A and B are shown apart, each in its own frame.
Chain A
Amino acid sequence: MIKQIHLAAHFPGVNNTTVWSDPRAGSHIEFSSFAHMARTAERAKFDFLFLAEGLRLREQNGKIYDLDVMGRPDTFTVLAARYDRARTFLATAFELFDSWHGDEIVADKASGVFLADASAGRSFHKDLFFDINGRFNVAAQWRALAAERRLSIRELIIEVTGRQTFVGSPATVAAAINDLVQADASDGFILVPHITPGGLDEFAGTVVPLLQERGVFRTDYKGSTLREHLGLAPL
């Protein structure tokens, strides 16, 4: 049987991909916004709705950052494992950043010494989530990419840190999602619309029917629990 796609909706909120200045942008706090998006996702037979959690307002230079959406209601459904991984991910990333101390690059043409320490960037890290043994060379990769494609720093950051983005007609987007899932790049996608609360409406109305026509997305719920939607065995 052809592999079935799982789809989830991420309520847009405190991040720089949420467009609050659009005339269609509504409240990120009022319950009606959550109800709208949840109903859209359920109408489109999505697996689940994802609500992010964060406790602290972002600051920049000691002041509260005022340019992005700020504030969120309480989201009770925190997936602990996700955040354990996130915490470990960050700690590991900092270890990797710190594997270069900043004074390794001598680049002395006269003596021919480029690195003061030939093992700069050497890292070992092993835990439940990550097993890393090697040399951290992201900076070098990024520089090479920027040079090759003549990217500005801004363009480079967008290129290397952006999430998977689907742009195009409903048919293009449906094909792209299906191709990735059938190629086992993932089992599905968590979609983050740019606009609250109506940002999912068009996807639900145009892309989902195309996925259903291809027989890769459910036309109705078969079970009632989240585990059942995800095809996980009962415990």
Chain B
Amino acid sequence: MHLSVALDGTGWHPAAWREERARPAELFTARYWADIVAEAERGLLDFVTIEDGFTVQSSRADQVTGRLDAVLISARVAPLTRHIGLIPTVVVTHTEPFHISKAIATLDYASNGRAGVRVRVSASTEEAALFGRRGPLPGSELLAEAADYVEVVLRLWDSWEDDAEIRDVATGRFVDRDKLHYIDFAGRFFSVKGPSITPRPPQGQPVVAALGHGPGAHRLIGQVADIGFVTPRTADHARDIVAGIQTDRPVHVFADLVVFLGSTPGEAARRQARMDERAGYAYTGDATAFTGTPAQLAGLLVQWQRAGLSGFRLRPGAIPDDLEAITRGVVPELQRRGAFRTAYEAGTLRERLGLGRPASRYAWSRS
């Protein structure tokens, strides 16, 4: 089983920052992020994702507002970790694929092959207004643009063949220009000539992930993603979603679950109720919430995985409590059942996911 956590502020519950062990005053420090990613790595997790967006999360003064840039957090923690994959969120609706391709390629260098990117579209009018270039696009257009965006990013990653830097002292050539390629992408949303300014990253193509709740987004996952995050309500629902993702490529489907954990079912419920009370409402999100013990969650994960899921992306209700319950409670339970690794093996994030290292499409076309 593949297991990851989605990191967002002090956790996914809007009142998580008021929990006793929460560190809300440190949210804008590098140390906070280094500490929680290190905890995820102690739990041998496949990767972490880091949420991002351009608008503030809440208009309420009693909720966490503001965030650091997810790609830069990832770059900061990359040299402090050795194994865990780092998948920051980028909003593709308002950024340029050229910039993001080189940023993620650079993260792949800084992490020695542990980088990915989770692409997110934005239908928000407020977010569009921050850029002022255009109004919000309809949903189908957002997804079509995202597909083209990923295609441009992949081509830019491929635009330097792996051995383009030759440093041939005899002829004075630093690069073999025959191994650098114009990508000449021209589509409805982008027109990008290339090549990239950054050499091909260690993984060739860092991992591409996307979250999807409906058929349109599931189609995007089938088209361009290595990992799709989905939000089933039950194991049967998960089976339907997996069956509905049409693709001719290897695509991992991970189910998202918000988790509230405790040493007893009662304690877990009390924690969740305490946070709901502080928030003033019962928190529900786009993903199913699980409330219970680590052993109960491990059992559910094993059962749901049989629906054809590759793994799970757990969203800790509160950090560090639920994060540590995952790394120190759920993981040992899964290990005891023989369902999860007991040590990291050397290798890149792609290798951990069994995805192999793609050759540059331009190397293929030349030979």
Which B residue sits closest to A53, measured CB to CB? Answer: B197
- B198 is contacted by which of A25, A29, A65 (Cβ under 8 Å)? A29
Q: Bound complex: CA of A35 vs CA of B110, how far in Å? A: 10
Which of these binds chain B: A67-75, A80-88, A155-163? A67-75
B195 within 8 A of A: yes
A54 within 8 A of B: yes
Q: Bound complex: CA of A152 vs CA of B177, how far in Å? A: 31
Contacts of A70 in B (CB 8 A): 165, 174-175, 180
Contacts of A20 in B (CB 8 A): 167, 174
Contacts of A74 in B (CB 8 A): 99, 102-103, 105-106, 198
Contacts of B103 in A (CB 8 A): 74, 76
Q: B70-83 vs A: 1/0 string, CB under 8 Å?
A: 00100100110000
B176 within 8 A of A: yes
* B78-124 CB contacts (< 8 Å) to partner A: 78-79, 98-99, 102-103, 105-106, 109-110, 112
Once the chains bind, are B175 and A64 in contact (CB under 8 Å)?
yes
How many interface residues does B have (CB within 8 Å)? 29
A31 within 8 A of B: yes
Contacts of B105 in A (CB 8 A): 73-74
Which residue, B72, B176, B177, B196, has most C-beta atoms of chain A within 10 A?
Answer: B177
Q: Bound complex: CA of A25 vs CA of B167, how far in Å? A: 10
Secondary structure at the A interface, as helix, strand, loop or mixed, is loop
Once the chains bind, are A73 and B106 in contact (CB under 8 Å)?
yes
B33 to chain A, nearest CB (A): 16
B169 within 8 A of A: yes
Once the chains bind, are A68 and B197 in contact (CB under 8 Å)?
no
Instruction: Please report A residues at the B interface, Cβ cutoff 8 Å.
Output: 20-21, 25, 29-31, 35, 54-57, 63-74, 76
Instruction: Please report B residues at the A interface, Cβ cutoff 8 Å.
Output: 72, 75, 78-79, 98-99, 102-103, 105-106, 109-110, 112, 160, 165, 167, 169, 172-177, 180, 195-199
7 A-B pairs whose Cβ atoms sit less than 8 Å apart in the complex: A57-B195, A64-B175, A64-B195, A65-B177, A70-B180, A71-B197, A73-B102
